[in-house]
Amino acid sequence: MAQHTASNAPATGRIRQFPLPDVGEGLTEAEILEWKVAVGDTVTVNQILVEIETAKAAVELPSPWAGQVHELLAEPGVTINVGTPIISIDTEPGAGPAADVEEVGSKIGEVAADGRIATLVGYIPAAGSSARRPRKGLPGQPPAPTAAAQLAAGGEPGTAADAVKAGATHGEPGHSLASAGGPTVDTDDGAPRTQAPLAAPPVRKYAKDLGVDLASVSSSRDDGVITRADVAAAADSPAAGDSAPVETVAVQGGGARQGGGERRVPIKGVRKMTAQAMVSSAFTAPHVTEFLTVDVTPMMQLRERLKARRDFAGVKITPLTFAARAVCIAARRTPEVNSVWDEAAGEIVFKDYVHLGIAAATPRGLVVPNIRDADRMSMLELAAALGELTDIARQGKTSPAAMAGGTFTITNVGVFGVDTGTPIINPGESAILALGSIKDLPWVVDGQIAVRKVCQLALSFDHRVIDGQQGSEFLADVGALLADPGMAMVF
C-alpha cells in the first residue's frame, strides 16, 4: 500500500482564477516581477497581489476579491500572455466543498460581470477581512493540487504520485516545476511510476544550457526542489556523465570565465518596446539634427537667485527646469515643433497644448513620462512637476498612462557628463531636444576672453513637418532664452 504524503486539506469555498488583465495600452504580455502575497495569505479587495512589467512600465495589480490565496499560477521572471490565469483565490474559505474554478477578468476600464470597473489602481471597495493567516507548507514548496485535479488525472485524492501527475498533465503556469524523468514512487496498484524532478523554468533552462539531466541532480533543499546551485554543482561534478563540457577562458588575475565570456539577456519589457519604437521612428521620420552652443552663465546666476527665494524653498531648480520652460515658450513662435505627421489621414496635426516628455533612465530601461499642459505652468510649478516625475521614474513606478500622449521630448544627456548627441524622435512626436552638460569654458565676452558656463543643445526634428528654417528658429529661440532669461519678456 502506498503512503499518502500529499496534503489532505481539501480546497474549500469558491475558487476564482484571476487572469493577467489588459491594462488598456494594447499590450499582449507582461513579465511577473514579484509576488506580494503567498499561498495561504488572506487578502482584501484592492490589496496589491503582484508587480508586473509590461513593455511600457511596471504596474502593480490589485486583488479583485477578498479571500484566501489558493495558488500562484505564474513564477517571477516568467512572461505571461494577457488572459492567462496568474493566481487563484478562495473567496469563501472554510465554506465547504470547492465549487468549479471560475476564471474572471476584465479589461482595464471595462465593466466586469459583477458591475465593478477595473482600473490600474483597484476596484470599487468591497468588504473583506484584513487578517493574515500562517502560510501553508515549506518555503518554496508548490501548493498541492486540488482533489478534483487529482481525480481528473486518473488517481486517488491525497496520493503524492497522483499529485505530481496532475501537476504535469494540466500544463498550467502554476504547475511549472514538473519535468520529465526522475525517481520513482510506489502507487496503489503496486506499479512504479516516475516522479518528475522539481525545478523552476529558469533552472530547467540553465540545466539544458549546461547539458545536465535534471533526473541526475540531487536537491539540496528539504522540499526536493532543484536549485541553480544544485545544477551548477552537478555540472562541475565528474559524475555528471551526461553533462556537456563547459569551456573556460582564462582571464587576467587568475580567474576563469564560463561560456566563452558571453552573457545573454532576453529582450523584453521596456527594453523591447524602446527598441521597437526607436527603429520605427528612425526609419519612418526623416531626421535632421542641428546643434547650438550657448553661454548659459546668466541662467545659472538666475538659478542661484531663485534658490534663495522663499517660494522656491524645498523645490529643486535644475538646468532642465529652465530648458523645459524655454521649450514651452519657444513652441508658441514655432508651433510646427509641437505637431505630428498623420500618414493615414494625410494631415499635419497641430497641438494647442504641450505635453512635455522627459526621457528618464531607470533600472528597467528608458522611459519617457510627460508633464501634461507644461505650457500652462509657471517656473515653480514646472520645477515641482519635474521633481515628482523623476522620483516616480527612479522607483520604476511610472504608469503607462503617464507616458502616453506626449508632444515634445527633452533628453538631458548632460547629467552623464555628455556634451551633446543626435537624439531619435519619440514616436508620435516631431522633435526632441538634447540638453548637454554645462562646463566652464573660455568664451569671448565684449571682445575679451572669459571663463563662462557653456552648454550645447541638439535638436532633432522630422523634416516632413518642420523645415530647416523653422527648426533653426526654434533652436535659436531656446538658446536665447537660456543665454538671457530676460528674453522671455519679449516672447
Over residues 128-145, mean pLDDT: 42
In a domain, 93, yes or no: yes
Q: What is the pLDDT of residues 391-406, one digit of tens each?
A: 898 888 888 888 889 9
Q: Show Cβ contacts of residue 17 under 8 Å, excluding neighbours closer than 6 positions.
A: 73, 85, 87, 88, 101, 102, 103, 104
Task: Give the global pTM.
Answer: 0.56
Going by pLDDT thresholds of 50, 70 and 90, the confidence category of residue 3 is very low
pLDDT averaged over the chain? 77
Residues 276 and 361 both lie in one domain: yes
Task: Residue 43: give its domain's CATH number.
Answer: 2.40.50.100
| 122 pLDDT above the threshold of 80 | no
The pLDDT value given to residue 272: 79
Q: What is the pLDDT of residues 305-322, one digit of tens each?
A: 999 999 998 899 999 999
Percentage of the chain exceeding pLDDT 90:
42
Residues 224 and 83 both lie in one domain: no
CA pair distance 42, 132, nearest whole angstrom = 5
Of 4, 170, 355, 463, which is the active-site residue?
A: 463
The pLDDT value given to residue 196: 65
In a domain, 188, yes or no: no
- Of 118, 46, 41, the residue nearest 72 (C-alpha): 41
In a domain, 113, yes or no: yes
Q: Show Cβ contacts of residue 127 under 8 Å, excluding neighbours closer than 6 positions.
A: 45, 66
The more confident residue out of 80 and 145 is 80
Residues 382 and 463 both lie in one domain: yes
In a domain, 156, yes or no: yes
Q: Show Cβ contacts of residue 125 under 8 Å, excluding neighbours closer than 6 positions.
A: 45, 46
In three-state secondary structure terms, 310 is: helix
Q: Show Cβ contacts of residue 276 under 8 Å, excluding neighbours closer than 6 positions.
A: none
Q: What is the pLDDT of residues 169-195, one digit of tens each?
A: 333 333 334 333 444 444 444 444 445
| 283 pLDDT above the threshold of 60 | yes
Task: Residue 217: give its domain's CATH number.
Answer: 4.10.320.10
Residues 245 and 296 both lie in one domain: no
Residues 285 and 392 both lie in one domain: yes
- Of 4, 275, 276, the residue nearest 161 (C-alpha): 4
Q: What is the pLDDT of residues 16-52, one digit of tens each?
A: 999 998 766 667 888 888 999 999 899 999 899 998 8
Q: Is 70 a catalytic residue?
A: no
Q: Show Cβ contacts of residue 227 under 8 Å, excluding neighbours closer than 6 positions.
A: 199, 203, 219, 220, 221
- Which domain does 349 fall in, by range? 270-490
Cell numbers 524622435 correspond to: 425
| 287 pLDDT above the threshold of 80 | yes
In a domain, 153, yes or no: yes
**In Å, what is the CA distance from 319 to each residue of 327, 331, 333, 386?**
12, 18, 22, 11
| 295 pLDDT above the threshold of 90 | yes
Number of domains the chain contains:
3
The pLDDT value given to residue 176: 36
Residues 454 and 315 both lie in one domain: yes
